[in-house]
Every structure is written in structure tokens, then in C-alpha cells.
Amino acid sequence: MNVADAVNIEDLRLGARRHLPRLLFDWIDGGAGDEQALAESVAQFSAARLMPRYLVDISKRSLTKSLFGRQYSVPFGVAPMGNAGLFRPGADIAMAQAAAKANAPFILSGATIATIEEAGAAAPGHVWLQIYPARDAAITRDFIARAEAAGIETLVVTVDLPLAAKRERDIRNGFGLPLSQDARKIIDVMRHPAWLRDWLRHGGMPKMGAWAAYAGKDASGQQVAQFMVSQFYPPHSWADLDSYRRLWKGKLVVKGLQHPEDARRAMAAGCDGIIVSNHGGRQFDRAPTPLATLPAIKAAVGDELAIMLDGGVRRGADIVVALASGADFVFCGRAILYGVAAGGLAGALRSFEILRDELDRTLGQIGRVTIDELDGEALMK
């Protein structure tokens, strides 16, 4: 796909679908259960209406936004997305570089193909690290130490994965780590020669970079993936969050909270921010949408913490809606991953271009010239 021809994120989504074998595309595109949480997260943004104000001089607009003492050129960044390097070699680094070029933050997934060190070096000052706590607490502590050594300033702890989700597309497709082979998958892969060529050129199953150091010196990509999965879903409590706060000297963000009381507890634990998220509808199908729970979270903690949102964002106008609803910043997952899957670095850059352009146009259409002017008055009640 020539990603320069993409007009919107949906075009990049279709490009990703053409490029990828079905089991990989469905892993990106799908959700848990009946996929209601996924659909509703997107639909709630689509249903929101913004109230324009006219006869306003909008000739000079700015999209800059300050977060954790850093001035970003846009009020959105890249949400953490695992396994990205399966879809396009070097995807994690490409997204980090695209974020750096856009002067935006990039959250490296704990299930990354790139190493923490590689990502930190690729986009200094722009990389945050998200962690999935391991069953072996020593590994979690080492993740935190590696992040600090790599110059990463913000740690994101994801808390909304108490156990494995039931993702029915993945079950039907036989997707799992480590990847397995059967006749149906081989036929599907053969129908996507560009993806297969890249896969073979880079040696097949890549090693999960963040985890390779713990799986054994000579572990293969399949063995590293198997080890990583074996470490998932440990018991996780507020006491663990307290321990991360003691270990981590930088900014600490909790991702996945949706209840106001949990937000208050995170504030009491010394966290610096919350990402209100339903994991993009990939984890719990009966979870509320982040746009629905955002106002109560914001009311619970006020301006004491940075309140961010992730989930359902497909348009620049969605970012405006989230900010007007009380978010201090917005993170986009699939919207960027579709781009990198469709066209590598160029696709990731195009995703940023599309979202930035739509955001800027929407800001002007409703008579605002800065991001900080967005508040509840911009929403049609």
C-alpha cells in the first residue's frame, strides 16, 4: 500500500488487512467476547457532537499541550501495543520514531519485540515503558531498573489484566504465543507474500526483546514467547503498586482504572497519572467505555493527577471530544498500529499526519485556537 494515499485511519486499517495474514490482522482488529466494548468505545465517540462557536479569529491555532513538565506538539501519543513486531519488522522502533518526529510520547509495551534499550535509544525523551508485572517479582524489578538505565522517565503499570481474556477471533484462528502451524494457517500466510517475505528475511519468529534476557541464553524466539506467557497474570494488589512507587523515581502512571474510588487510591499511592482505559475492548467485554467513566474519574481526583484516556480513538475529532470531556491527554493504539502494519515507519508517520490534521480542522471548526480552551462547553449537552 502507498500509505501517502490514505485519507483516513480506516484506509490504513484496510491496508493492514491486505498486508497481514488473517490471524494477525484479527489479533489487532478484534476484541473480547461479542466485541461490544470495542464497538461501543468507537460508537460513543462517533455519537458525540461538538458545539461550534463562530465569528472567532481562528487564523492562528496551536495544538501544543504540556504533560509532566514537557511541552508536546500534539495532545496525543501512542498507546502500548504488544507483539507489534509480528506485523511489521521493527514496528516498535518505527512507532517510537514517528512519535519523536511528531514530538509526542510513545508507550513501549511490556510485550515488545524491541528491547527497552533499543526503544529508548531510538527516541530519547519520548519513550515511556508499560509493564505487565511478572510472576517472578525479580523480573519486574529488573524491568524497572532497565527503564531507568535507558533514560525512560515515565513508567506505566497496566492493571486491567487479572486473567486471560476470551478473544473469540483468536480462538477460531488458533492465534497464540508461541505461534503454531497448521495447513489453514500456512495457506493464509501464502496469500500474503509481502508479509511472508519480511518474516523469512528477518528469521521467522522474533524474540520478545524485553523478555529475552530472562528466558535463557540460547532460547529461540518461540521459547522466549513461551516463557513470557508463562509469567503473565500473577496476583496483583495495591501493595504491588506501592512497591513500584518505592522503586521508581520518575513519573508513575496506572493504566486501566475506571472506578473513581480506584482513582483516589492511586492518588493516595503517589501515582502521577491515570490512563482511563478498557484495554481497547480487548480484555473485558462488559466493561464500560473510557469516555463514559472519564468524567467521574476526573471529578474524583481533580487536577491532582494527569488524567489520560485510551480506547476507541479513530479520528482527530475523537481526540477533541476526549479532551473536552476532561482528559488531559489522549493515547491512540490501533489508529497508529494500523499505519505501521500497512506501511512501516511511513505508515506510522501517516497515522500521525491524519490525526493531527483532523484534530486541527476540528479545533478551528468549533472556534477554538488552543487545546487548553477545550472544556465541557465544547460538547453539545
What is the number of alpha carbons within 13 Å of residue 169 lying toward its C-beta? Answer: 15
Strand partners, 154: 251
CA dist 126 and 10 (Å) reads 26
In whole angstroms, what is the distance from residue 381 CA to residue 376 CA? 9
Inside any domain, residue 230 = yes
Give the separation between CA 315 and CA 45, rounded to whole angstroms. Answer: 9
pLDDT at 2: 95
**What pLDDT is attached to residue 6?**
98
Average pLDDT over residues 177-203: 90
Q: Please list the residues that pair with 345 across neighbouring strands.
A: none
Beta-carbon count within 10 A of 171 CB: 10
Per-residue confidence band for 182, with pLDDT thresholds at 50, 70 and 90: confident
pLDDT of residue 214: 96
pLDDT at 177: 84
How much is the pLDDT for 318? Answer: 98
The rounded distance, in Å, linking the Cα atoms of 332 and 166 is 23
Identify the three-state secondary structure at position 69.
coil
The rounded mean pLDDT for the chain is: 96
Residue 361 host element (H or E)? helix 334-365
pLDDT (mean) for 331-341: 98
All three cell numbers of 34: 461479542
279 is catalytic: yes
Distance (Å, rounded) from C-alpha 322 to C-alpha 311? 10
- Tens digit of pLDDT for each residue in 98-147? 999 999 999 999 999 999 999 999 999 999 999 999 999 999 999 999 99
Helix (H, G, I), strand (E, B) or coil at 261: helix
pLDDT in the model for residue 145: 97
Grade residue 381 by pLDDT with cuts at 50, 70 and 90.
Answer: confident
CATH number of the domain encompassing residue 194:
3.20.20.70
Q: For the chain, what percent of residues have pLDDT higher than 90?
A: 95
User: Above 80 in pLDDT, residue 175?
Assistant: yes
Is there a contact between 170 and 76 (Cβ–Cβ < 8 Å)?
A: no
Q: Is 100 helix (H, G, I), strand (E, B) or coil?
A: helix
347-371 mean pLDDT: 98
Q: Give the CA count within 13 Å in the CB-facing half-sphere of 340.
A: 29
Using 50, 70 and 90 to split pLDDT, how confident is the model at 183?
confident
Q: What is the pLDDT of residue 1?
A: 85
* Average pLDDT over every residue of 192-198: 95
Confidence check: pLDDT of 178 > 80: no
10 Å CB burial of residue 181 (0-12, 13-18, 19+) is exposed
- Evaluate whether residue 296 is within a structural domain: no
Q: What is the pLDDT of residues 147-169, one digit of tens each?
A: 999 999 999 999 999 999 999 99
User: Can you give the pLDDT at residue 181?
Assistant: 81
d(CA 105, CA 102): 9
* Cell (9 digits) for 16: 493492514
Residues β-bridged to residue 310:
277, 331
Please determine, for residue 176, whether its predicted confidence score (pLDDT) is greater than 90: no
Cβ burial, residue 144 (10 Å; 0-12/13-18/19+):
buried
pLDDT given at position 179: 80
pLDDT in tens, 10-36: 999 999 999 999 999 999 999 999 999
Q: How far is CA 300 from CA 41, 62, 241, 268, 351, in A?
A: 22, 29, 19, 12, 33
Say if 361 falls within a structural domain: no
- 109 found inside a domain: yes
Contacts of 271 (CB under 8 A, 6+ apart): 241, 245, 252, 253, 254, 305
Query: Bridge-partner residues for 275, per DSSP?
Result: 255, 308
Provide the domain count of the chain.
Answer: 1
Please report the DSSP string for 196-254 in residue order: HHHHHHTTSS---TTTGGGS-TT--HHHHHHHHHHT-S----HHHHHHHHHH--SEEEE
Whether the CB-CB separation of 50 and 321 falls below 8 Å is answered with: yes
In a domain, 362, yes or no: no
Q: Which residue among the candidates 19, 126, 192, 279 is catalytic per the annotation?
A: 279
Range of the domain at 267: 3-288+303-353
Q: How many helices (H) and strands (E) does the chain have?
A: 15, 10
| CB atoms closer than 10 angstroms to residue 6 | 23
Residue 319, in any domain of the structure: yes
Answer whether residue 341 is part of any domain.
yes
Does residue 240 sit within a domain? yes
Q: Which ranges constitute the DSSP H helices of 30-90? A: 36-47
Taking only Cα atoms into account, the Rg of the chain, rounded to an integer number of angstroms, comes to: 20
The label of the residue with cell 490512563 reads 275
Q: Read off the pLDDT of residues 44-74 as tens digits, 9 standing for 90 and up.
A: 999 999 999 999 999 999 999 999 999 999 9
Residue 370 DSSP label:
B
Provide, rounded to the nearest whole percent, the portion of the chain with pLDDT above 70.
100
